[in-house]
Amino acid sequence: MGSAALFHLARRRRRVLGLERFDLVHEYGSSHGLTRIIRLAYWEHPTYVALLRRAYELWRELEGLAGEPLLHITGSVDAGPEGGPIFQGALRSSELHGLPHEVLDGDELHRRFPGYRLSKQTRCLYQPEGGFLLPERCDVAHVTQALDLGADVRCREPVLEWGAASGRVWVRTARGRYEAGRLVICAGPWAAKLVPELARLAVPERQVLAWLQPSRPEYFQPGAFPVFNLEVEEGHYYGFPSFLIPGFKFGKYHHRREQVDPDATRREPEPEDEELLRAFAGRYFPDGAGATLMLKSCLFTNSPDRHFILDRHPDHPEVAIAAGFSGHGYKFCSVIGEVMADLVHADRPRHDIEFFRLDRFAPTA
């Protein structure tokens, strides 16, 4: 989110400084792991679809500027019981926004995409525009373009504190002190460490992803295997075709429901993580459930309603915050960059972001 904000601000000819506590690409936050799903039939809420359309447009534009592929189309599957939130939500978004889609049962899905072995009763919405992004390359592309436009980027420079007064902001880092007209805070799992008001509203949670070696690799190639969101009795899962690593990749939303401190979390995957994930693959994707090739931990940052927080700071209108992406934010980075640039430099944001206001969590009388 920070890389995209940097790019959009630089593009508007603002003098902009990007500060990152680790390296330009690192594995301590939320944006590593080679692939991230992007999908239009948004089961979480139809309000996201307008932002998604713009996100696709901006990802394609960034690809053109970077001269490398960043977004791969595979189609997407949103599946689960007939009355469950994933299938019903995806159907609602598709119908409301006129998205091309097909509804299949589990057997029909298997005939079309043989890697999937869901029960016949499973209702599956297929949407042809789903796919995946390459997050590390996308972050680098945003930063490269911002640098070309004159932005200043400093990594290995943690922000220690910030303040705002008389329409100006200041930031103290491990290496110096800066003053500016505006501040954009996109700190991922560390959001509440920089903005204490977010303590209960942006809560880090430990996740683990698996890549397993398929016994039928041809079933798990990008052309044969759409990305998925799936509701089964064990919970909600998501997955990808093999790409860059020769393995079927997937994870479970809210994996072991472990809230953590991002500075003290267990990053090394454990046997319990692997067992939980392997059991899922063995049951629903048996041709993808061979030897483990890779496990990686990562962090979600959950808001109470699992929707994003995009707003100005309640006491400092010159400070904008992007937080609480709740495990589904990456696909939106390109458009969130534009939103953050608007929040600090436009009277009226071009996108309708009322749904994401911070004060929706304010205690009511």
Ligand X SMILES: Cc1cc2nc3c(=O)[nH]c(=O)nc-3n(C[C@H](O)[C@H](O)[C@H](O)COP(=O)(O)OP(=O)(O)OC[C@H]3O[C@@H](n4cnc5c(N)ncnc54)[C@H](O)[C@@H]3O)c2cc1C
How many C-beta neighbours within 10 Å does residue 234 have? 13
Query: 45 catalytic, yes or no?
Result: no
Q: Is 59 in the site for ligand X (CB under 6 A)?
A: no
Q: Is 260 in the site for ligand X (CB under 6 A)?
A: no
Unique residue bearing structure tokens 């501040």: 183
According to CB under 6 A, which one of 106, 288, 327, 337 is a site residue for ligand X?
A: 327
Query: Does the annotation mark 32 as catalytic?
Result: yes
Residue 317 Cβ, how far from ligand X at the closest point, in Å?
21
254 is catalytic: yes
Binding range to ligand X, per CB under 6 A, among 20-28, 94-102, 105-113, 279-287: 20-28
Judged by beta carbon, residue 157 or residue 342, the one nearer ligand X is 157
* Marked catalytic residue, from 142, 236, 307, 331: 331
Among residues 19, 40, 79, 169, the one that binds ligand X under rule CB under 6 A: 19
* Interface region with ligand X, contact rule CB under 6 A, candidates 52-60, 94-102, 285-293, 325-333: 325-333
CB 126 within 8 A of CB 101: yes
Specify the residue, 23 or 111, whose C-beta has the smaller distance to ligand X.
23
Answer whether 222's CB lies under 8 Å from 74's CB. Answer: yes
CA atoms of 316 and 319, how far apart (whole Å) = 6
Phi, psi for 135 (deg, rounded to 5): -60, -40
Identify which of residues 69 and 167 has a Cβ nearer to ligand X in the complex: 69
Amino acid 26 reads: H
Which residues does residue 173 pair with via DSSP β-bridges, in sequence order?
Answer: 159
Q: Is 93 in the site for ligand X (CB under 6 A)?
A: no
Residue 31 interacts with ligand X (CB under 6 A)? yes
Catalytic position from the list 8, 14, 35, 301 = 35
The residue annotated as part of the active site, out of 12, 21, 26, 32, is 32
Catalytic residue among 36, 206, 236, 328: 36
Phi, psi of 271 (to 5 degrees): -55, -35
Residues in the chain: 365
Site for ligand X in 162-201 (CB under 6 A): 186-190, 194
Q: Which stretch binds ligand X (CB under 6 A): 14-22, 59-67, 106-114, 270-278?
A: 14-22
Query: Which residue in the list 11, 117, 216, 254 is annotated as catalytic?
Result: 254
Residue 256 DSSP SS3 = coil
Is there a catalytic annotation at residue 298? Answer: yes
Q: Smaller CB distance to ligand X: residue 24 or 105? A: 24
Asked whether the beta carbons of 238 and 284 are under 8 A apart, the reply is no
Question: 295-308 in b/e burial notation, b at 16+ Cβ within 10 A?
Answer: bbbbbbbbbeebbb
- Applying CB under 6 A, does 250 fall inside the site for ligand X? no
- As a whole number of angstroms, the distance between CA 211 and CA 273 comes to 12
Establish whether 252 is a catalytic residue: no
C-alpha–C-alpha distance, residues 209 and 215, integer Å? 19
Is residue 37 close enough to count as binding ligand X by CB under 6 A?
yes
212 binds ligand X (CB under 6 A): no
Taking the chain, what is the end-to-end CA distance rounded to the nearest angstrom?
A: 34
Residue labelled with tokens 């309708």 = 352
Q: Establish whether 331 is a catalytic residue.
A: yes
C-alpha pair distances (Å), 39 with each of 101, 343, 363: 12, 25, 33
One of 298, 309, 321, 344 touching ligand X (CB under 6 A): 298
Q: What is the DSSP string of 182-197?
A: -EEE--GGGHHHH-GG
- Whole-angstrom distance, CA of residue 124 vs CA of residue 277: 21
The residues in 108-167 that bind ligand X, with binding defined as CB under 6 A, are: 158-159
Interface with ligand X (CB under 6 A): 1-2, 19-22, 29-31, 33, 36-37, 158-159, 186-190, 194, 207, 209, 238, 251, 298-300, 325, 327-331
Q: List, by residue number, the catalytic residues.
A: 32, 35-36, 249, 254, 298, 331
